Amino acid sequence: MNQPASAYFLEERHDPNETHTLSVLVQNEPGVLARVIGLFSGRGYNIDSLTVSETESQKHLSRITIVTTGTPMVIQQIKHQLDRMIPVYRVVDMTVTGQAIERELAMVKVRGGGDHRVEALRLADAFRARVIDATTESFVFEITGNSSKINQFIDLMRPLGLVEVSRTGVAAITRGPEGM
């Protein structure tokens, strides 16, 4: 690894990585998601989480929320690269604005009986997870919150008979009266 530094070893810089949540407002047209994802894979950026859905159907606008990790220089690059795409209206770094609320929804299936079943229900109650399906030997919980809360809930369910998890990825919005 004793290579001299050059443009090809940008990652060798010892800037610490940061995790940022980006909200991207795009024209909802064919291929727009492929463009965004292609940018990340083509340039070697990370995607920790990605959610997308049409938010204003009359204007054909979709909102993509991307959680990504990189050095500050890479994060800035990602924002510029996204912003210069033709169908992209706006890119807002929710982490920089500092006022953002982030939520994720997960559905968690747990199978078991006896004490485990009781404990799972009790914890779900503590986490304000709802039971959306139940059989005599299983529950499906629906839980909403920030990612760390969901991670914590899933960790707690693991010894109690965790079967599987389906998560939506992060959606984010700023606090206060202003839109993005």
Partner 1 sequence: MTDKSHDPNQMTGAAMIVRALIDHGVQHIFGYPGGAVLPIYDEIFQQSEVEHILVRHEQGAGHAAEGYARSTGKPGVALVTSGPGATNMVTPLTDALMDSIPLVCISGQVPTHLIGNDAFQECDTVGITRPCTKHNWLVRDVNDLAKVLHEAFYVAMTGRPGPVLVDVPKDVQFATGTYHPPRKSDVHISYTPRVKGDATLIRKTVAMLASAKRPVIYSGGGVINSGPDASKLLRELVEVTGIPITSTLMGLGAYPASGPNWLGMLGMHGTYEANMAMHDCDVMLCVGARFDDRITGRVDAFSPGSKKIHIDIDPSSINKNIRVDVPIIGDCGNVLGDILQVFKAEAKKPDIKAWWQQIAQWRARKSLSYRKNNDIILPQYAIERLFELTRGKDTYITTEVGQHQMWAAQFFGVEEPHRWMTSGGLGTMGYGLPAAIGVQVAHRDSLVIDIAGDASVQMTMQEMSTAVQHELPIKIFILNNQYMGMVRQWQQLLHGNRLSHSYSEALPDFVKLAEAYGGVGIRAHKPADLDGAIKEMISVKKPVLFDCRVAALENCFPMIPSGKAHNEMLLPEEATDEATAKAFAGGKALV
Is 81 a residue that touches partner 1 (CB under 8 A)?
yes
- Could you tell me the smallest distance in angstroms from the CB atom of residue 66 to partner 1? 16
- Is residue 124 packed enough to be buried (19+ CB in 10 Å), middle (13-18) or exposed (0-12)? buried
Q: How far apart are CA 50 and CA 63, in angstroms?
A: 10
Distances (CA, A) of 17 to 33, 74, 150: 25, 9, 23
Is 5 a residue that touches partner 1 (CB under 8 A)?
yes
Give the largest CA-CA distance in the chain.
63
Is 8 a residue that touches partner 1 (CB under 8 A)?
yes
| 82 vs 156, beta carbon nearer partner 1 | 82
Stretch that binds partner 1, among 27-35, 117-125, 128-136, 142-150 (CB under 8 A): 27-35
Applying CB under 8 A, the residues found at the interface with partner 1 are 2-8, 10, 26-27, 30-31, 34-35, 38, 42, 73, 76-77, 80-81, 83-89
